[in-house]
Amino acid sequence: MSDGSVPPVAGARRLVGVCMARRKLCKAGIGALYGPTMAVALILGTGAAQAADPKPPAPPVAAAPVPAPPVAEPAAPAPRAGEVVSLGGKNQAEEDPVVAIVDGHPIHLGALGKASDTLPETLREMPFDTLYPALLQRVIDHQVLAMMARRQGMDETPAIKRDIEAATDRILEAAYLRRETAAAVTDQAIQQRYNLEFANRPATEEVRARHILVPTETEAKDILRLLREGGDFAALAVARSRDPDARHGGDLGFFRREQVWPSFADVAFSLQPGEIGPTPVRNEFGWHVVKVEERRLVAPPSLSQARETLRQELMAQAIREAVKKGRTQLQIREFNIDGSVKMDSLRRDDNADGAPAR
């Protein structure tokens, strides 16, 4: 075109080409993460987010002779943020430099690292240098909004103060538990737990069974009659069982003897595949008709296979102990839903009167 502008079709093709080149960002939903402005900046280039009033294209200029390219000088290394940004006349600490200042409030590189931890996995896999421009703008936006809220006194309103205190409590709780559990969840502790639970343990027998749960013995015996007459166990479970597993034909999957209550285990582990218990089994939920589908022997897991499960067990145990220790060191008084004091709470206070002051 004579005026030098880009034809609409060509411009559309160029945009599609850029999007295809950066398809990883597009697919990851970058617009939802950073907002429309930031998404445009990431797709079209950082200048797009700042171009509020695009200028008209410059008129075409007559071609001029192209001069010979100058001899390239060695490029100087790009300065780091800690070398070009100073606060109070001092260079920033190299391990966590200041990357922006919002109205006197410094933003450190570590804040961007924490922000990157909240990204979807598809984005976390990208180089940090690629994400840095968008993360920086996102953290600046966050700081701008938070500071504007403080300027308007929103942090002093009762409801928001309660939310701030609750958020602070959650952060302190997590930090305290990390410190208290660090000594309990170690490689040595995991190895000791593995030796206790699995080392030198023989293969364990497991059973895969189905059951039908009904409220009365009469109904359970009626189901046994239907099964003896050729009824399909899974179909009867779907139609008549009161257990949530009914929709799966009463299938309980594989389990070990210690994972179910004793009377149910006695029946299930006495049957061979395809057999149905001759009599229903009762517990607090009702009457159960039991059928065994499979039996197998399972070797104990290796340390690597059991490591994560054991780590979670040790973590849960350490958390319970931390909570128990805290409850013994602090005074706790409970109230009923109407605000009245619970009597058992008062009795606990009376029993603690003779205890040493905490």
Which 8-state DSSP code applies to residue 104?
T
| Helix and strand numbers, DSSP H then E, in the chain | 14, 8
Q: Is 112 helix (H, G, I), strand (E, B) or coil?
A: helix
User: Taking Cα atoms as reference points, which of 301, 309, 296, 207 lies closest to residue 259?
Assistant: 207
pLDDT of residue 341: 84
Cα–Cα distance, 243 to 237 (Å, whole number): 9
pLDDT tens-digit map of 119-172 = 888 888 889 889 999 999 999 999 999 999 999 999 999 999 999 999 999 999
Express each pLDDT in 168-193 by its tens digit.
999 999 999 999 999 999 999 999 99
Domain with CATH 3.10.50.40 in the chain: 202-298
Q: How many residues does the chain have?
A: 358
Block residue for tokens 């700042």 = 50
* Stretches in the chain below the pLDDT threshold 50: 1-67, 69-92, 354-358
Q: CA–CA separation, 279 vs 282, rounded Å?
A: 10
pLDDT at 346: 61
Quickly name the fold that domain 202-298 has: Chitinase A; domain 3 (3.10.50)
268, amino acid identity: A
Residue 90 has what pLDDT?
Answer: 42
Q: Which residues pair with 286 in a beta bridge?
A: 283
Encode burial over 254-283: b for 16+ CB neighbours within 10 A, e otherwise. ebeeeebeeebbebbbebeeeebbeebbee
- What pLDDT was estimated at residue 280? 97
154 phi and psi, to 5 degrees?
-65, -25
Contact 48, 41 (CB under 8 A): yes
- Predicted local distance difference test score (pLDDT) of residue 353: 53
Q: In this structure, what is the dihedral angle of CA atoms 268, 274, 279, 282, given to the nearest 10 degrees?
A: 40
pTM for the model stands at: 0.52
Output the pLDDT for position 242. Answer: 96
pLDDT at 351: 57
pLDDT at site 124 = 84
> Given its phi and psi angles, is residue 4 left (phi above 0), alpha (psi -120 to 50 degrees) or beta?
left
